[in-house]
Amino acid sequence: MAHVFSDKIILVEGRSDKLQLLTLLDESPEIICTNGTISDVKLEELLSPYDGLPIYAFLDADKSGEQIRSVVRKEYPEAIHLYTNPMYGEVANTPAKVLASILKRVNIKVKKEFLP
């Protein structure tokens, strides 16, 4: 199968978040890690190669996640924000079925075995 270029971007904080999402996905969006808090300049550097693609910000429910989210809101007001339940704290700690239902609500394809 030929490599299909992504038609969307999912922005996460760290590698563990990315790995958690990769196990669920039934499509191949580009998953970009901020590796912690980020400046608007750094965010623009990360996302500029993907100009025009929809951006999904799936960040942790903590102070660092909120800081990144505010930079994303400022620089990319069109970005779609996905939220994990604060009781899980991090995307990586959120149960697979919960993540799958969050992704499915915004029409990101997930593997059937993770759907309720």
**pLDDT value for 5:** 61
The CA distance from 53 to 62, in Å, is 26
Per the listing, tokens 């990101």 go with 108
- Tell me the mean pLDDT per 10 residues along the chain, length 116: 68 96 95 92 93 95 95 97 96 97 96 92
